[in-house]
Amino acid sequence: MTTRLLFVCLGNICRSPSAENIMNHLIQQRGLSESIVCDSAGTSSYHIGSAPDSRMTAAARQRNITLVGQARQFTAQDFEQFDWILAMDRSNYRDILALDPGQQHQHKVRLICEFCRHHRDQEVPDPYYGGTDGFNYVIELLMDACSGFLDFVTQPSSLKSTS
Ligand code: 4NP
């Protein structure tokens, strides 16, 4: 059985593609490629079709992570396609849940920072209008959060959010 993860931010060009590609890196390292798959999306339509931001790509590259992908917008259909939907900040979280008025899928939507073990942040800060340090920090924070989430999701009892 495959577990499907979707990472969501605002534009799908900085934080969520970083989370997706960091998680794919960890999944490959742990030999889990057959059982866990990742995607990412943005709550906005601002950058549909765009590649990851070049500043984000440069920060990821320094940690040996290659960012690939093309921005798309989150839709209500994603609730059916994914087992876990991981929001970067509370605004993304609210925008995701606004597309689930019947609250059928609320149990699979989480803030990714809940899974950090070394950082106290509750949200992944939006780096878009800031400098290089902000992009580097996003990568560092997501390494922690993704590693924590991967340990959580590979516990036998939590491979499916509904089980
Ligand atoms: P992301 O960053 O949500 O991490 O992809 C942003 C990208 C674009 C914008 C804001 C944040 N924007 O306003 O265009």
Q: What is the pLDDT of residues 46-99, one digit of tens each?
A: 999 999 999 999 999 999 999 999 999 999 999 999 999 999 999 999 999 999
Residue nearest to atom 8 of ligand 1 (CA): 11
15 counts as catalytic: yes
Cα 31 to averaged position of ligand 1 atoms, centre (Å): 32
- Whole-number Å distance between alpha carbons of 161 and 82: 10
User: CB-hemisphere CA count at 13 Å for 148?
Assistant: 17
pTM above 0.85, yes or no: yes
Amino acid 42 reads G
Query: What count of other Cβ atoms lies within 10 Å of the Cβ of residue 14?
Result: 28
Residue 126 appears among annotated catalytic residues: yes
pLDDT of residue 157: 77
Tell me the C-alpha to C-alpha distance, in Å, between residue 58 and each of 11, 18, 33, 132, 135: 18, 11, 25, 9, 9
Is the confidence at residue 40, as pLDDT, over 90?
yes
Q: If pLDDT is split at 50, 70 and 90, which confidence band does 1 have? A: confident
Which numbered atom of ligand 1 lies nearest the CA of 18? 4
Active-site residue, selected from the candidate residues 78, 83, 89, 126: 126
Over the stretch 121-152, which tens digit does the pLDDT of each residue have?
A: 999 999 999 999 999 999 999 999 999 999 99
Q: How far apart are CA 138 and CA 134, in angstroms?
A: 6
